[in-house]
Amino acid sequence: MREYYRWTALFGAAVLTLSNPVQALADEISQGGSTIETAVTVPTLPIGEEVQTVVVPGGQTGSGLNGTGTVVVAPQTQPQLPGNADLSEAGNTVDAGTGTVNPGAASEGTGTAAVNPGTAAGNPGTTGNTGTTGNTATTTSKDYSRGPGYVVEEEPVQEPVQEPAASENAGADVLPIPNPVQVLPSQPIRGIMAQDGSVALADVINSIVQVTDKYSYDQMVLDMSLLKVRYGDKIHIREMGESLDNRKIYDCIIGNVNAPKHLLIQAGIHAREYINPLMLMQQMELILANYDTGTFHNMPLSEMFNYVAVHFVPMTNPDGISISQFGPDAIRSQQLRDQINQCYFSDLARGKAGLNTASYYSRWKANARGVDLNLNFDALWEEIGAGMPSSDGFRGEMPASEPETQAMVNLYNNPDYPWAAVLHYHSMGNVIYWDIRGNKVQAESRELAQLMSNVTGGYRVLPSTGGGGYKDWIQLSERPVPSVTLETGSVSCPIPVTYYNGIWTQNCLTWAWAMEWIAMH
């Protein structure tokens, strides 16, 4: 009798398998433990599930929910290019709590995160001008907001969908397409409409990149893949390196990859400054949504991006950001978790940490090995105190000892990219740093810093006296270009999401002003 039931069950399973081979394949694949960082397919519509479909601007069809937009009026007059900027505050710093300037180097106090309004957007449908059709997303109860590897329920696996082909000259784009997609109400990304009509960037109503308290690495990878599906060969996403805990570091190129000039914008090199990767991702989506129709100072964006390609590296330190957002448990390597915990006990013994471990890890600044990546570049590195692994302030055992540092060095040294300028995003202080001892592009960097000060509504321009930073290394390199660091926000990190709208308003067009400045030089 036992054998009878066994054979009956096997026969029934065979019938179900033949009647629904896709589901059988999904069940088999799901045993492999696919995660958001390794899955390589875009989800299709599972049988019996409904998707809410909306019309995306430009006649495209995609999934998501409608939002309402707000128009921001840009200044009618352009910022004045630098003349006699007052840069006498050498070595000045910013008070962590108030944003006032005090002697020293820019520092940050303690801070706590604020309300989490939700993450993720719908999977878009047809892409821009590529003619390639994307699949609609499914509504699921998945929750990636806790960070790497945290999924509430088992993931279904669906049939693969072809990603839009990259342009002929783009090279091989490498990006895992996460699966599945979580559909939540969409918040619009505010555009810019100047009263004189010289700037016209429409709001992004069905936006992919959503403002959230802890914009995680996994969410960023998901959003990148959806931007690629929606906008096709307007964006090229390249793997440029890998973190200690095996998270990919991405270079997102918008525009003509063979353009005569290239602009690099990077953020997230310090872990607790994760409000800036969110901003860069929304800058990217604003550009892509307006690529064919938008104008800046009466110049079509498409023409601007044909002459100046813009590279976005939104999250240079994905391991560190995961630690700051979710603690050491977000790190998969037991060896790295042990090193992180050792940093805590070492910092505790030296009086750099308190008994509140949650507060300690939320203010983490380094990578997963306790190295401050912005002290790890070969720029006056030997003058930085040796120290030891810590949540912040350790320069590393040698210059460029960390894989994240090496990835940024290799990107800049790529001979295919004729760099013209670099913007580095950090937090906090509402200040701009532009100089370093031995700066080979001092005048140009100062000019770019003054322009960015005008654009952001008055970020204070200060020289810097330290070393070991990416900006410093570029200014001292064999092919230096103007390079400035913009420190967003006036409260300590992690900056609460309630401050994001102000940061966005100040910085949403820095890429456009930098491109125009590059074109004139």
**Type of residue found at 130:** T
**Type of residue found at 357:** T
- Which pLDDT does position 103 carry in this prediction? 37
Span 138-155, pLDDT tens digits: 333 333 333 333 233 333
pTM: 0.69
- Which pLDDT does position 187 carry in this prediction? 84
Q: What DSSP element (H or E) covers 510?
A: helix 510-519
Residue 363 has pLDDT above 60, yes or no: yes
Torsion of CA 288, 290, 295, 301, to 10 degrees: 30
**For residues 214 and 285, what is the distance between their CA atoms, to the nearest angstrom?**
19
Percent with pLDDT over 90 in the chain: 63
As given in the structure block, the two tokens for residue 286 are 């604003």
The residue behind tokens 């900027």 is 85
- Which pLDDT does position 464 carry in this prediction? 85
Span 287-333, pLDDT tens digits: 999 999 999 999 999 999 999 999 999 999 999 999 999 999 999 99
Span 428-449, pLDDT tens digits: 999 999 999 999 999 999 999 9
- Which pLDDT does position 354 carry in this prediction? 95
Q: Which residue has the higher pLDDT, 319 or 119?
A: 319
Q: Which domains does the chain have, with CATH numbers?
A: 61-77+120-321+404-519 (3.40.630.10)
Q: In b/e form, how buried is each residue of 467-489, taking b as 16+ CB within 10 angstroms?
A: bbbbbbbbbbbeebbbbbbbbbb
- Which pLDDT does position 142 carry in this prediction? 38
Percent with pLDDT over 70 in the chain: 64
Span 450-495, pLDDT tens digits: 999 999 999 999 988 889 999 999 999 999 999 999 999 999 999 9
What rounded mean pLDDT belongs to the chain?
Answer: 75
- Which pLDDT does position 284 carry in this prediction? 98
Span 8-48, pLDDT tens digits: 444 443 433 333 333 333 333 333 332 222 222 223 323 33
Residue 512 has pLDDT above 50, yes or no: yes
- Which pLDDT does position 172 carry in this prediction? 55
Find the range with the poorest average confidence among 69-78, 266-275, 477-486.
69-78
